[in-house]
C-alpha cells in the first residue's frame, strides 16, 4: 500500500458500509446517455452514488464506486477535487487516496456482508450493492444511466467513453444478465428499485420512468 494513502483498510480489516440512509432513497448513476436528458440538478442534496466517470456530470455525489485500475490511472488527478467518498475493491489497493476498500465477490446476487460488493461484468452492480447496504430494508434505489443501449443519436455514454473502451453490444447483454441476478435479492431485502432511464432496454428488470417521476414517487412515499 502506498505510504500516506488515506484508506480505511488496516491489516485484514475492510471498510464496512453502514446503514447510513436507513429506509431512504439512494440514486445510483451509471454511464448511459439518458442522463443527458434528465434534470440532474434535482439530485443536489439527495443521496447519490456515481459509477466511474459519472462524477464528471454529478460532481456533488456522496460516493463514487470504481473497480477499474485503468480508469483510476486516467482520472486520479481530476479526483483530487471530488469531495465525496471513493469506494474500490481490494485489487486496486495500491491506488493512493482511495478512502474505502471493500471486498469484491462474484455474482449472481448481492453480497450480503456489509464489507463486500458483488461485481463481475459491470460496476453498476457494485453501485447497486453499495446502495442496498446504505439504505437497508424498506429503502429505495433509483437508477440513472441504466440504458443498456445507445440513444437515438448513437451515444453510448453521457460522458466521454473511456480511452481504451471499444463498443461491443454483447457487453450490454452480459450487464443485463448480471443485474437481473439482483432483482430477487433486492426484493427479498425489502428494497424497492425503479429505473429512471427513459428508453432503457432493461424495462423487464425494474419499472422505467423519468427522474422527475421517480422523485415524485419518493416524495409521495415519504409523506404517506
**Does residue 168 or residue 180 have the better pLDDT?**
180
> What pTM value is reported for the model?
0.87
Closest CA to 29 of 11, 10, 15, 42: 42
Average pLDDT over residues 62-88: 88
Instruction: Residue count of the chain, please give it.
Output: 224
CA-to-CA dists, residue 4 to 71, 88, 95, 129, 155, angstroms: 22, 17, 11, 29, 40
Average pLDDT over residues 55-81: 88
Most confident range (mean pLDDT) of 4-18, 94-108, 167-181 is 167-181
Average pLDDT over residues 131-149: 95
Q: Residue 172: pLDDT above 90?
A: no
Separation of alpha carbons 200 and 33, rounded Å = 10
- In this prediction, what percent of the chain has a pLDDT beyond 90? 60
Domains of the chain: 25-159+168-223 (3.90.1480)
Amino acid at each position: 500500500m502506498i505510504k500516506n494513502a488515506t484508506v480505511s483498510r488496516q491489516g485484514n480489516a475492510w471498510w464496512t458500509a453502514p446503514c447510513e440512509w436507513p429506509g431512504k432513497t439512494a440514486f445510483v448513476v451509471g454511464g448511459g446517455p439518458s442522463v443527458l436528458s434528465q434534470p440532474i440538478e434535482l439530485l443536489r442534496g439527495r443521496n447519490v452514488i456515481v459509477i466511474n466517470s459519472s462524477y464528471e456530470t454529478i460532481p456533488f455525489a456522496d460516493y463514487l464506486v470504481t473497480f477499474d485500475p485503468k480508469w483510476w490511472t486516467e482520472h486520479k488527478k481530476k479526483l483530487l477535487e471530488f469531495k465525496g467518498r471513493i469506494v474500490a475493491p481490494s485489487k486496486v489497493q495500491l491506488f493512493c487516496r482511495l478512502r474505502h476498500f471493500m471486498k469484491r465477490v462474484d455474482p449472481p446476487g448481492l453480497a450480503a456482508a456489509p464489507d463486500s460488493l458483488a461485481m463481475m461484468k459491470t460496476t453498476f452492480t457494485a453501485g447497486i450493492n453499495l446502495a442496498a447496504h446504505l439504505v437497508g430494508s424498506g429503502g429505495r434505489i433509483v437508477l440513472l444511466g441504466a440504458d443498456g443501449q445507445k440513444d437515438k443519436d448513437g451515444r453510448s455514454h453521457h460522458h466521454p467513453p473511456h480511452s481504451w473502451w471499444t463498443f461491443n453490444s454483447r457487453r450490454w447483454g452480459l450487464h443485463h444478465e448480471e443485474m437481473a441476478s439482483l432483482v430477487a435479492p433486492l426484493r427479498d431485502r425489502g428494497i424497492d428499485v425503479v429505473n429512471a432511464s427513459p428508453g432503457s432496454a432493461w424495462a423487464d428488470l425494474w419499472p422505467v420512468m423519468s427522474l422527475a417521476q421517480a422523485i415524485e414517487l419518493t416524495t409521495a412515499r415519504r409523506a404517506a
